[in-house]
């Protein structure tokens, strides 16, 4: 009997359990980077300035349970929000599943290792600065958070 397909291939976002939903996060930290939107044109600019709660080494929120209380503009993702938000990175597991795409090879659910997102060069590790040190966000505008990453596979004999 063939193995069962993974949940992200068989369930809609709405059908997922809380644990399944949370596991769709690849831990890249890209969504925790500040974005700037032009009031007149609506144009979106990405920065490499991270939320003050983001641990820049682990790319995890330092206070996930209380993040929306501590950072009022932190967005809690829901299936409806995932489909409406225009700034989720194209590599985001939530966005990919919502668009009917599979998860990337480096996603922890595929690789079995939460470090592959960093090893593949997809996360903000080593690329972001904390908002506490940044000053004016306009000086930190970059385009990579909104682009599909060119991930690098680990050398043969290492991880998948």
Each of the 160 residues of the chain gets a pLDDT tens digit; together they read: 777 899 999 999 999 999 999 999 999 999 999 999 999 999 999 999 999 999 999 999 999 999 999 999 999 999 999 999 999 999 999 999 999 999 999 999 999 999 999 999 999 999 999 999 998 999 999 999 988 887 666 555 554 4
Q: Is residue 45 part of a domain?
A: no
Q: Which of 148, 147, 142 is nearest to 36 (CA)?
A: 142
Threshold 0.95, pTM exceeds: no
Domain containing residue 129? 7-32+50-133
Number of domains in the chain: 1
Q: Is residue 57 part of a domain?
A: yes
Q: Is residue 72 part of a domain?
A: yes
Q: Is residue 16 part of a domain?
A: yes
Query: Would you call 6 helix, strand, or coil by DSSP?
Result: coil
Q: Is residue 140 part of a domain?
A: no
Q: Is residue 155 part of a domain?
A: no
Q: Is residue 115 part of a domain?
A: yes
Q: Is residue 145 part of a domain?
A: no
């Amino acid at each position: 009997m063939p193995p069962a397909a993974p949940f992200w291939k068989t369930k809609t976002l709405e059908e997922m359990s809380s644990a399944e939903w949370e596991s769709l996060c690849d831990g890249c930290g890209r969504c925790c980077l500040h974005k700037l939107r032009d009031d007149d044109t609506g144009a979106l600019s990405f920065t490499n300035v991270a939320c003050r709660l983001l641990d820049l080494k682990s790319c995890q929120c330092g206070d996930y349970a209380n993040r929306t209380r501590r950072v009022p503009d932190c967005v809690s993702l829901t299936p409806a929000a995932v489909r409406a938000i225009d700034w989720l990175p194209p590599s985001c597991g939530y966005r990919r599943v919502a668009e009917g795409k599979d998860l990337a090879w480096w996603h922890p659910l595929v690789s079995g290792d939460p470090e592959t997102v960093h090893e593949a060069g997809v996360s903000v590790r080593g690329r972001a600065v904390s908002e506490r040190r940044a000053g004016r966000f306009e000086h930190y505008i970059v385009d990579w958070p909104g682009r599909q990453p060119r991930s690098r596979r680990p050398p043969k004999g290492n991880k998948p």
